[in-house]
Amino acid sequence: MALDLETREQLIDTVARFVAERLRPIEAQVAENDAVPADVIEEMKGLGLFGLSIPEEYGGLGLDMEEEVLVAIELGRASPAFRSVFGTNVGIGSQGLVMFGDDAQKAKWLPGIASGEIITSFALTEPEAGSDSAAVQTRAARDGDFYVLNGAKRYITNAGKASLFTVMARTNPDVKGGGGVSAFLVPRDLPGLSVGKPEKKMGQQGAHIHDVTFDHVRVPVENRLGEEGEGFKVAMQVLDRGRLHIAAVCVGVAERLIADCVAYASERKQFGQPIASFQLIQAMIADSKTEALAAKALVLDAARKRDAGANVTLEAAASKLFASEMVGRVADRAVQVFGGAGYVADYGIERLYRDVRIFRIYEGTSQVQQLVIARETLKRGG
């Protein structure tokens, strides 16, 4: 159920102040230490950020898609590593359970996810399965009241802190593609589950990804999400929502970069005047503003359609494609506007330039989004 307008505005204002007053001042510290401080994470829990998309009956805020998008835009104004702390709880780590879980599964896990006591991860990507998500090779063999999982997952966000994984595994090796894949809720403490060391990354220091290995992990049958063979459907529906969330974060980062460019260009002087007075600087700002406005309109339109019950697989993919490519261009222009100051670490522009590069890769690369958009457009006949 959507929030009333006053409550929605209060929530957005609270998040905006938290971003401005608590998160942005410590961005450099988080990047240097590769960690978000524990006290900040506790504040995130207190604000309900871990449960944005969890139904109210399970302790979450129960935001609809439009509300979640508006909050995500505000969160995008700080380094993306902050959002990543709870991003899997809001999106891909919890939504399979929200959409496909039975009453017992929801009652067992969702309250802890909403409070932040439980951190979730979505384990789909493998060494030979990423963009080709139907090529999952991790095996789940039925053995009485259990499934025995064997395999490895790669680049799994928040795996180091996760206590619950949504795992895609092949239950029927005779069925090629997504039809042989099922989804499972796998607690971290099950014997045989191990998590590798965090990977060194180009950007988003403070957010961590790991390999996850399953060596004869026995998962109770009641931990399966939906029916056997529905895992690919679970993954795709989860990604529809996740792609809209990521697109909204891209809009927020772009808006932050544009504001930084305007402030810097208004102060920085060359040839005796602020560089904001030069038309070629203005052109970069104008292009960035126009693209950010277009992305925001696209994301909000798709979110409203999803809330109205429409299938938004095409619109979610288009939003993610356009917004993630857009913020890359905006970040590149920001480095150019800042000049030498944009290339050194003091101003944080080079950090954001590196941070936003991943948006064109995770939750479906730009090329996968193009394939989805084309396929869905052909289905619809134009």
Q: What is the tens place of the pLDDT at every residue in 364-379?
A: 999 999 999 999 999 9
Q: What is the average pLDDT across 288-316?
A: 97
Strand partners, 152: 213
The letter for the amino acid at 251 is V
pLDDT at 1: 61
Q: What is the tens place of the pLDDT at every residue in 147-171?
A: 999 999 999 999 999 999 999 999 9
Q: What is the average pLDDT across 95-115?
A: 96
Q: What are phi and psi of 182, to 5 degrees?
A: -125, 160
Q: What is the average pLDDT across 75-81?
A: 97
Pair 231, 168: CB distance under 8 Å:
yes
Q: What is the tens place of the pLDDT at every residue in 247-286?
A: 999 999 999 999 999 999 999 999 999 999 999 999 999 9
Tell me: pLDDT of 66 over 90: yes
CATH class of 120-228: mainly beta
- The catalytic position among 27, 126, 228, 363 is 363
Query: Environment class of residue 136 by beta-carbon count within 10 Å: exposed (0-12), middle (13-18) or buried (19+)?
Result: buried
Q: What is the tens place of the pLDDT at every residue in 129-149?
A: 877 877 899 999 999 999 999
The pLDDT-based confidence of 232 (bands split at 50, 70, 90) is confident
pLDDT at 132: 80
- Contacts of residue 36, defined as CB under 8 A and 6 or more positions apart, other chains included, come to 30, 81, 82, 85, 206
Q: What is the tens place of the pLDDT at every residue in 176-201?
A: 888 899 999 999 999 999 999 999 99
Indicate the domain borders of the chain.
5-115, 120-228, 233-380
pLDDT at 128: 84
Minimal CA–CA distance to 320: which of 248, 214, 238, 218? Answer: 248
> pTM for this one?
0.95
CATH level 3 topology of 233-380: Butyryl-CoA Dehydrogenase, subunit A; domain 3 (1.20.140)
Strand partners, 273: 270
Cα Rg of the chain (Å, integer): 21
Using CA atoms, how far residue 275 sits from 182, 258, 260, 337, 343, in Å, is 56, 15, 14, 9, 17
Tell me: pLDDT of 223 over 90: yes
Could you tell me what percent of the chain has a pLDDT over 90?
Answer: 90
Q: What is the tens place of the pLDDT at every residue in 307-319?
A: 999 999 999 999 9
Strand, helix or coil for residue 4? coil
The pLDDT-based confidence of 107 (bands split at 50, 70, 90) is very high
Q: What is the average pLDDT across 106-130?
A: 94
The pLDDT-based confidence of 120 (bands split at 50, 70, 90) is very high
- Euclidean distance between CA atoms 354 and 56, whole angstroms: 36
The pLDDT-based confidence of 244 (bands split at 50, 70, 90) is very high
Is the fold of 5-115 the same as that of 120-228?
no
pLDDT at 176: 84
Query: Is 5-115 a domain of CATH 1.10.540.10?
Result: yes
- The better pLDDT of the pair 194, 232 is held by 194
Q: What is the tens place of the pLDDT at every residue in 10-42?
A: 999 999 999 999 999 999 999 999 999 999 999
- Euclidean distance between CA atoms 221 and 250, whole angstroms: 38
Provide DSSP, 218-278: EEEGGGEESSTT-HHHHHHHHHHHHHHHHHHHHHHHHHHHHHHHHHHHHH-EETTEEGGGS
- Euclidean distance between CA atoms 303 and 46, whole angstroms: 26
Q: Catalytic: 363?
A: yes
- Euclidean distance between CA atoms 90 and 83, whole angstroms: 10
Q: What is the tens place of the pLDDT at every residue in 303-360?
A: 999 999 999 999 999 999 999 999 999 999 999 999 999 999 889 999 999 999 999 9
